[in-house]
Every structure is written in structure tokens, then in C-alpha cells.
């Protein structure tokens, strides 16, 4: 069956002469619109049209393309022609029914649906999706194609769910005798280095732990970032919804964000009841509070790269500014980890340096090699870790149900995970290693989404998230909390250590 759009064009008043008078204009304009939008894409035709008062109903079919573009072209020209002849304009458009036909690459295992009015029938791999009651915005913004894409993605995801994440070893670890077998967070709690924070999944780092975290940060800056020419930026902690719409994080991770709400007013009079209740009850009047704040208006920083791309959005980078190498260490990452929380390695608030790079494909591939060299130097020679790297499916591909390429020659765009053995979790072979950072080249995904350009040629980007709590946990889990067990290269950076605190 062909795609079939049944639509209504609401005019500002009923045209003179009724259907008969309108016939030549409608026929001519429909042919013109079909010519323009469908003829090179398998063709199409007007099945029928009618006029009832100011409402012109029209049904368009197309065997291959989706004909909403035809309707838009037709109604725009109709408005022009009727405007000139009879001072009648087009008020609005709607589509009571839009039937879309497509072939599924994989069949669903359980029923799928989408959150707009529709019916869906399957005949083998042939899907018929009928969208109901689309308004003008939905037609103009191409909800039809998005709805088909969403269904295809949801079905593809069903076949992907439950499968192991794609993972293939790149750099094998050098075995090192562990100096420590305990959970470093437990050990730090005992020594009063850290205390579980006042709110969920957060930690207070006392002077000893803070010193270690900042030492890790210094090593990353001085051994990796500054030698490669990265320059620091300072970015805000709140990410706008617009930014996360563009990166795809909003559709991908809505359950992992901490959301920002704002007071509806800062007028003390508005807050009087709240303040009085606090004074009397010495408790939080949560219902009253909910009434006084807005719904979510932004998101606490999840990762820094989205807002770095926002900074560059709509800009054209001069060739002499490429590759552009920047890093942020100001914004703190916040994630709702829920059941996955554990110690300092999986927390709801963590400190990360996020370097972001933009350049030609060649520049980024060369940069990745230099970054890897510097990282190898740090993890082998300074921290002396037992660590490995793996080629994995990047998050944005995972969400779309696509897996990473098996072919080493195809491994240009994608993500490398860096993982460390945590001896307290078990044997090297039998336990899950900790991802302590990663390194991605994402091609033109974000430069396109944020319209970031170069003077000439392609512009790619990528990022490498350096998780400082994870560096610290990986190090302490293998080397322990005592300086005696630490490699000289690290001691040179870390010493002198602050005096340990003793509480009675």
C-alpha cells in the first residue's frame, strides 16, 4: 500500500464559487507540488479532494516518499493564489490520518508503541503505522519520519537488549603484584579520610583524600594536558535543556540527571508561609516548597562536553585555531546512579576533567595517539597501575542500538575505555574491572548538531573524561593508603602529605 495522507486545509473563509470554481487552481497547484516534492522520489497523486465551507480536505498518496512535504508546498501556494484572487488565506493545517508504510530490518519480540495517537499493524516485516490527528506543527516538524525512526530504533533495541556490551581488548595489562586487598573506600572511612556526604551518593573528602584527588588532577594537567597544548576553560554547572536536546543526552539519559528547579519568586512575602512553618515545625514543609518552586528548568552538569559544544555553537573556527584543545575542571558531574552506587568509585557527584578537542579527522586521529602516549606514561610510570584499554560501543551508539565495529580498520570513530583491576573485587579474570576514564572521537556528530564549522573541510570532535575519584580508587585499590606502598613517581607528586586528622 502507498503512504497516504488525509489532510484538511482550513481557509480564512469559504472561497467563492465552491468546488467547481476552485477545481482548476487546486489541480494546477497539486500537480505543481507533486512535481516539486515527489516526482524524483517515486511520484504520487491526489486521490480526492473536497470543499466544505472554509475547509478543503485533500488526500495524497505516494508509493515511496512520505507526502507531508507535498501538502505543505500545496497549502503555501494555495494561500498565495487565493490571497491574490479572493483575499483568502490559509489559517491552519491538520491531518486526521497519515498512513506510513515501511519495511522492518528486525522484527519486534514484544509489542512496541509511541506516545502519540496511532495504530500499528505488522504483516511479516511490512509495517503500517497510521498517525492520527496531527496538527500543523507535527506536519511542519516532520513527526512522521521521527515516529518511524523511533519505532525502528525501539525494535532494534529489543534485539540488542540483554546482549553483552561490545568490548574488545586493545592494550593488554602488565601484571603487577597488588600491595593491598581491601576496598579503598572502607579503608579511607576507617582512617577518617572521607565521610559519606549529607545527601545521597556524595562524599566529603577530608584533607588527606582531597590532597590525593588534587594530586591526581595535577598529574593529569601537568603530564597529559599541558604538554599537549590543552588550555583551560571554566564553564557553568547548569546545562540547558536545549544543549542536551542537541547532544541526545536528554532522550538518552533522562533518568540519570539531577534537575534544577528555581524559586517562582524571591519576594519574602511569597515565602512567608514557608518561613513561618519552618520556624514552628523545624522541619521542611515539602508540600509548601513544591508549590513555591518551578518545574525543572535545567540539568546539573552530567558531563562537561555538551556545554563546551554550546560555547562554540554557531561559530566558525579559523584554521590557525585548529586543532582546538580545551579542558574544563570547574563543573562537577552529577549523576543519579541509584542502585549502582558504591564507595567513591560510583558516586552521584564526582570531579572530572573533561578535555574536548576539535579538528580535522587527521588532526584528531594524531591527537588520540599522543593522548594515548601520555596516558600510558602516567599509568605505567607514575601510578604504576595494572590497567588495560578496550574498544567499546560509545554511549550515543548504544542508545541507538548500534554496536561498535569489529574491524580494526574501522576503528576511527568510537570510544576507548581505560580499566583498572580492583584486587578487592576478586581475581584478575573473575572480577569486574573499573572504568576510570575513556577517550572518544565522535566524528561530526556534535559539530553538526551545534553548527560548528571550519574555514574549509570537515570538522570532527571528541572528548576524554578523566574521572578523578576513579583514578584515586584505582590507585588506592592497588597500592593501599600507606606511602610506603606508593611508587616513587607518584610520591614525588604527592609529598608532602597533609597531617592525618585524629578524632576522639
Question: What residues make contact with Zn ion under the rule CB under 5 A?
Answer: 303, 305, 463
Which entry of ligand ATP, Zn ion, none binds 470, CB below 5 to 8 A by partner kind? ligand ATP
Report helix, strand or coil for 423.
helix
* CA angle 335–472–253, rounded 5-degree value: 15
| The length of the chain, given as a count of residues | 504
Q: Which is nearer to ligand ATP, 273 or 342 (CB)?
A: 342
Catalytic residue flag (residue 301): no
Residue number of the CB atom closest to ligand ATP? 467
Residue 172 is given by DSSP the state: P
Cβ at position 247, least distance to Zn ion in Å: 9
Q: Which is nearer to ligand ATP, 391 or 436 (CB)?
A: 436
Catalytic residue flag (residue 428): no
Which entry of ligand ATP, Zn ion, none binds 51, CB below 5 to 8 A by partner kind? none
Cβ at position 414, least distance to ligand ATP in Å: 13
Which entry of ligand ATP, Zn ion, none binds 477, CB below 5 to 8 A by partner kind? none
Catalytic residue flag (residue 3): no
Catalytic residue flag (residue 374): no
Cβ at position 202, least distance to ligand ATP in Å: 10
Q: Which is nearer to ligand ATP, 45 or 346 (CB)?
A: 346
Torsion of CA 426, 427, 430, 434, to 10 degrees: 70
In a 10 Å sphere around its CB, with 0-12 CB exposed, 13-18 middle and 19+ buried, how is residue 282 labelled? exposed
For residues 60 and 67, is the Cβ–Cβ distance under 8 A? Answer: yes
Nearest by Cα to 249 from 193, 338, 309, 175: 309
Catalytic residue flag (residue 354): yes
Which entry of ligand ATP, Zn ion, none binds 346, CB below 5 to 8 A by partner kind? ligand ATP
How many whole angstroms separate alpha carbon 395 and alpha carbon 273?
Answer: 46
Q: Which is nearer to ligand ATP, 255 or 268 (CB)?
A: 255
- Torsional class of 101: left (φ above 0), alpha (ψ -120 to 50), beta (otherwise): beta
Which entry of ligand ATP, Zn ion, none binds 411, CB below 5 to 8 A by partner kind? none
Nearest by Cα to 98 from 11, 195, 7: 7
Q: Which is nearer to ligand ATP, 359 or 394 (CB)?
A: 394
Cβ at position 317, least distance to ligand ATP in Å: 25
Cβ at position 422, least distance to Zn ion in Å: 24
Catalytic residue flag (residue 223): no
Q: Which is nearer to ligand ATP, 11 or 434 (CB)?
A: 434
Catalytic residue among 335, 352, 368, 388: 335
Catalytic residue among 35, 435, 444, 491: 435
How many whole angstroms separate alpha carbon 217 and alpha carbon 219?
Answer: 5
Which entry of ligand ATP, Zn ion, none binds 463, CB below 5 to 8 A by partner kind? Zn ion
Cβ at position 227, least distance to Zn ion in Å: 21
How many whole angstroms separate alpha carbon 202 and alpha carbon 259?
Answer: 16
Beta strands in 278-413 (DSSP E): 298-300, 316-317, 324-328, 333-334, 349-350, 352-359, 387-392
Catalytic residue flag (residue 32): no
Cβ at position 460, least distance to Zn ion in Å: 14
Q: Which is nearer to ligand ATP, 61 or 469 (CB)?
A: 469
Rule CB under 6 A: which residues touch ligand ATP? 303, 335, 337, 346-347, 350, 352, 435-438, 465, 467, 469-470
Other beta carbons within 10 angstroms of residue 422's beta carbon come to: 25
Catalytic residue among 8, 232, 337, 380: 337
Which entry of ligand ATP, Zn ion, none binds 305, CB below 5 to 8 A by partner kind? Zn ion
Q: Between the CA of residue 278 and those of 281, 287, 288, 297, what are the distances in Å?
A: 5, 12, 10, 26
Buried residues in 289-299 as b, exposed as e (16+ CB within 10 A): eeebeeeeebb
Cβ at position 205, least distance to ligand ATP in Å: 13
Which entry of Zn ion, ligand ATP, none binds 445, CB below 5 to 8 A by partner kind? none
Catalytic residue among 346, 374, 411, 425: 346
Catalytic residue flag (residue 39): no
How many whole angstroms separate alpha carbon 39 and alpha carbon 203?
Answer: 63
* Helix or strand (DSSP H, E) at 158: helix 143-160
Catalytic residue flag (residue 435): yes
Q: 448 CB contacts (<8 Å, ≥6 apart)?
A: none
What are 395's three cell numbers?
Answer: 554511549
Catalytic residue flag (residue 305): yes
Q: Which residues are annotated as catalytic?
A: 305, 335, 337, 346, 354, 417, 435, 438, 463, 470
Amino acid at each position: 500500500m502507498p503512504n497516504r495522507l488525509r489532510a484538511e486545509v482550513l481557509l480564512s473563509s469559504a472561497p467563492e464559487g465552491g468546488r467547481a470554481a476552485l477545481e482548476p487552481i487546486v489541480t494546477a497547484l497539486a500537480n505543481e507540488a507533486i512535481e516539486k516534492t515527489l516526482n524524483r522520489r517515486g511520484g504520487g497523486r491526489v486521490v480526492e479532494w473536497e470543499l466544505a465551507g472554509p475547509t478543503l480536505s485533500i488526500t495524497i498518496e505516494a508509493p515511496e516518499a512520505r507526502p507531508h512535504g507535498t501538502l505543505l508546498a500545496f497549502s503555501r501556494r494555495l494561500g498565495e493564489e487565493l490571497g491574490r484572487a479572493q483575499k483568502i488565506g490559509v489559517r491552519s493545517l491538520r491531518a486526521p490520518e497519515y498512513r506510513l508504510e515501511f519495511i522492518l530490518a528486525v522484527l519486534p519480540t514484544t509489542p512496541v508503541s509511541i506516545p502519540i495517537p496511532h495504530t500499528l499493524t505488522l504483516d511479516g516485516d511490512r509495517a503500517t503505522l497510521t498517525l492520527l490527528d496531527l496538527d500543523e506543527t507535527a506536519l511542519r516538524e516532520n513527526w512522521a519520519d521521527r515516529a518511524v525512526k523511533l519505532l525502528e530504533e525501539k525494535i532494534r533495541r529489543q534485539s540488542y537488549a540483554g546482549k553483552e556490551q561490545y568490548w574488545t581488548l586493545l592494550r593488554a595489562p602488565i601484571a603487577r603484584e597488588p600491595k593491598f586487598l581491601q576496598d579503598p573506600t572502607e579503608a579511607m572511612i576507617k582512617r577518617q579520610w572521607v565521610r559519606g556526604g549529607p545527601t545521597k551518593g556524595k562524599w566529603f573528602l577530608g584533607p588527606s583524600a582531597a590532597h590525593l584527588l588534587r594530586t591526581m588532577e595535577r598529574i593529569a594537567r601537568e603530564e597529559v594536558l599541558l604538554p599537549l597544548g590543552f588550555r583551560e576553560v571554566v564553564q557553568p554547572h547548569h546545562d540547558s535543556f536545549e544543549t542536551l536536546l542537541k547532544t541526545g543526552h536528554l532522550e538518552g539519559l533522562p533518568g540519570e540527571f539531577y534537575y534544577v528547579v528555581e524559586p517562582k519568586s524571591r519576594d519574602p512575602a511569597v515565602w512567608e508561609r514557608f518561613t513561618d512553618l519552618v520556624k514552628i515545625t523545624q522541619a521542611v514543609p515539602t508540600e509548601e516548597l513544591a508549590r513555591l518552586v518551578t518545574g525543572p528548568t535545567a540539568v546539573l552538569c552530567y558531563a562537561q562536553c555538551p556545554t563546551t559544544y554550546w560555547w562554540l555553537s554557531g561559530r566558525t573556527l579559523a584554521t590557525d585555531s585548529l586543532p582546538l584543545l580545551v579542558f574544563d575542571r570547574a563543573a562537577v558531574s552529577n549523576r543519579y546512579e541509584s542502585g549502582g552506587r558504591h564507595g567513591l568509585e560510583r558516586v552521584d557527584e564526582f570531579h572530572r576533567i573533561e578535555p574536548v578537542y576539535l579538528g580535522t579527522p587527521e588532526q584528531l586521529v594524531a591527537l588520540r595517539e599522543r593522548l594515548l602516549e601520555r596516558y600510558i606514561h602516567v599509568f605505567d610510570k607514575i601510578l604504576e597501575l595494572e590497567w588495560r584499554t578496550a574498544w567499546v560501543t560509545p554511549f550515543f551508539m548504544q542508545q541507538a542500538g548500534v554496536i561498535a565495529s569489529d574491524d580494526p580498520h574501522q576503528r576511527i570513530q568510537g570510544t576507548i575505555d581505560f580499566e583498572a583491576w580492583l584486587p578487592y573485587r576478586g581475581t584478575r579474570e573473575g572480577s569486574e574491572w573499573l572504568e576510570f576514564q575513556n577517550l572518544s572521537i565522535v566524528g561530526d556528530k556534535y559539530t553538526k548538531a551545534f553548527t560548528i564549522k571550519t574555514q574549509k573541510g570537515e570538522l570532527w570532535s571528541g572528548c576524554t573524561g578523566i574521572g578523578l575519584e576513579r583514578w584515586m580508587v584505582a590507585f588506592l585499590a592497588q597500592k593501599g593508603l600507606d606511602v610506603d606502598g606508593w611508587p616513587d613517581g607518584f610520591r614525588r607528586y604527592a609529598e608532602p602529605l597533609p597531617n592525618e586528622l585524629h578524632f576522639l
